[in-house]
């Protein structure tokens, strides 16, 4: 129960932050990405704030073995950069630049009833399904 309440609270804060900062507005995001045109640097401050909070949270988390809710800490052990990470980052960036959404803001915009978000979220889910099908096929091929 406490896990559900904490998740609800964190999701509400995250969604509110996305709305207040303008990250759920694809036009604002595309303005940020338009560095050769009418660049809108305001989202750089949002990202900077998120990075500062994230760095602080990870610094605390690395010293803990159990979360504040009593669950085991599961920080990814891998720190190397490989082809999959690079390709995934490029695909994410291309999708972000085309749509003006990334997953979190896309879901917020979907919840707000934005039609463009319906297409984005459906495409995102389709991409995740395709990835899973490919990964399962690869796993079967190596066995």
Q: Is 58 exposed, middle or buried (0-12, 13-18, 19+ CB in 10 A)?
A: exposed
Q: What pLDDT score does 30 carry?
A: 85
pLDDT of residue 25: 84
pLDDT in tens, 5-22: 888 888 888 888 888 888
Residue 123 — very low, low, confident or very high, per pLDDT cuts 50/70/90?
A: very high
Residues 28/40, Cβ–Cβ less than 8 Å: yes
The answer to whether 97 touches 33, Cβ cutoff 8 Å, is: yes
What is the band of 134 on the pLDDT scale with cuts at 50, 70, 90?
Answer: very high
How far is Cα 54 from Cα 57, in angstroms, rounded to an integer?
5
Residue 67 neighbours by CB distance under 10 Å: 13
How many other β-carbons are positioned within 10 Å of the β-carbon of residue 59? 9
| Whole-number average pLDDT of the chain | 87
How does residue 43 score in pLDDT terms, banded at 50, 70 and 90? confident
CA-to-CA dists, residue 1 to 16, 19, 49, 62, 72, angstroms: 23, 27, 30, 25, 17
Indicate the domain borders of the chain: 2-142
Q: Measuring CA to CA, how many Å separate 59 from each of 45, 54, 78, 81, 137?
A: 21, 8, 16, 21, 38
Per-residue model confidence as pLDDT tens digits over 44-72:
888 898 899 999 988 888 888 888 778 88
What residue ranges in 41-116 does DSSP mark as E strands? none
The pLDDT of residue 81 is above 80: yes
Q: What is the mean pLDDT of residues 95-123?
A: 88
């Amino acid at each position: 129960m406490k896990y559900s309440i904490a998740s609800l609270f964190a999701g509400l804060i995250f969604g509110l932050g996305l709305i207040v900062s303008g990250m759920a507005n694809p036009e604002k995001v595309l303005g940020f990405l338009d560095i050769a045109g009418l660049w809108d640097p305001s989202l750089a401050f949002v990202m900077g704030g998120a990075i500062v909070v994230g760095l602080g949270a990870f610094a605390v988390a690395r010293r803990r073995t159990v979360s504040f809710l009593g669950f085991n800490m599961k920080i990814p052990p891998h720190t190397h950069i490989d082809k999959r990470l690079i390709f995934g980052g490029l695909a994410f960036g291309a999708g972000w630049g085309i749509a003006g959404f990334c997953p979190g803001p896309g879901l917020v915009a979907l919840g707000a009833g934005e039609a463009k978000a319906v297409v984005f979220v459906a495409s995102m889910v389709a991409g995740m399904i395709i990835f899973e099908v490919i990964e399962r096929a690869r796993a079967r091929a190596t066995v």
